[in-house]
């Protein structure tokens, strides 16, 4: 429950540490710096810096007393403030878009970016966006290797709904992952429109191959079900030779799996 609330708070633009601190204050009420640091397991200086950031965002207030007590803004007011901050940022980006595009046209290789065959992406949120885009482009098949928690993340992210739509237009989906009692519900869900086989792979990788035309390979440093962790590093290519090699590797494991 707490991890889900933290995930939701980060969607409003808070960093994980900021979300943890705000949630701690909501649970415990006005608190002193040392108590907050001890409660969430941070050094005093880290706690002070994060509190300062929350104060600047307007969702935490500091008392004028000594010692100082830090109090959270009520959740509805805090979320409205964060939403307004996001709206303001989007408005500024829209205002600056024409100027930015015009400025970029002056660079020699401006038109070459759309032809790029390789990309490196960092962060789980960005990786899932790319996986969803790849899935929507699929015409024949999607082959996946993931961790047992990776299956949970896929369903939690809503990827299953896109895969279900793919199945309706005849796209085959195959999954290789470790299966145990922790992810049986997700396995049942994915089996509604694809095949799932169990295999234990001694590393936390994510592999997605679409139609032997696109490949995504990701190193998962944090195998939690958090959808916004920044640690994932993802490689993407539309090189067909690499996709064929990866597909060969996938089916070698597929034939070994149960």
Tell me the domains of the chain and their CATH numbers: 2-75 (1.10.10.10), 117-256 (3.30.870.10)
**CA–CA distance, 170 with 193 (Å, rounded to integer):** 10
Tally the residues of the chain.
258
In the three-class reduction of DSSP (H, G, I as helix; E, B as strand; rest coil), residue 166 is classed as helix
| pLDDT band at residue 111 using 50, 70 and 90 as cut-offs | low
pTM of the model: 0.57
Interacting residues of 239 by C-beta distance below 8 A, sequence separation 6+: 117, 118, 215
Pairing of strands 214-219, 141-145: unpaired
Q: For residue range 39-87, list pLDDT tens digits in order.
A: 999 999 999 999 999 999 999 999 988 899 999 999 999 999 999 988 9
How many beta carbons lie within 10 A of that of residue 57, not counting itself? Answer: 18
3-state SS track over 2-65? HHHHHHHHHHCCCCHHHHHHHHHHHHHCCEEHHHHHHHHCCCHHHHHHHHHHHHHHCCEEECCC
């Amino acid at each position: 429950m707490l991890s889900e609330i933290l995930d939701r708070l980060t969607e409003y633009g808070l960093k994980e540490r900021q979300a943890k601190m705000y949630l701690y204050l909501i649970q415990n009420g006005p608190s002193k710096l040392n108590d907050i640091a001890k409660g969430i397991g941070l050094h005093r200086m880290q706690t002070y810096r994060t509190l300062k950031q929350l104060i600047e965002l307007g969702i935490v207030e500091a008392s004028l007393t000594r010692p100082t007590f830090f109090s959270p803004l009520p959740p509805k007011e805090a979320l409205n403030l964060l939403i307004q901050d996001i709206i303001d940022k989007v408005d500024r980006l829209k205002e600056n878009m024409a100027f930015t595009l015009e400025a970029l046209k002056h660079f020699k290789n401006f038109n070459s970016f759309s032809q790029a065959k390789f990309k490196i992406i960092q962060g789980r949120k960005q990786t899932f966006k790319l996986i969803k885009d790849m899935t929507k482009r699929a015409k024949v098949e999607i082959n996946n290797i993931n961790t047992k928690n990776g299956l949970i993340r896929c369903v939690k992210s809503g990827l299953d709904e896109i895969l279900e739509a793919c199945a309706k237009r005849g796209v085959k989906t195959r999954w290789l992952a470790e299966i145990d009692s922790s992810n049986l519900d997700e396995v049942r869900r994915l089996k509604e429109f694809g095949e799932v086989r169990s295999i234990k792979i001694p590393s936390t990788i994510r592999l997605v191959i679409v139609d032997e035309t696109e490949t995504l390979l990701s190193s998962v440093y944090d195998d939690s079900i958090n959808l916004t962790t920044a640690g994932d590093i993802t490689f993407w290519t539309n090189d067909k030779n690499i996709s064929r090699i990866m597909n060969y590797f996938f089916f070698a494991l597929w034939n070994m799996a149960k």
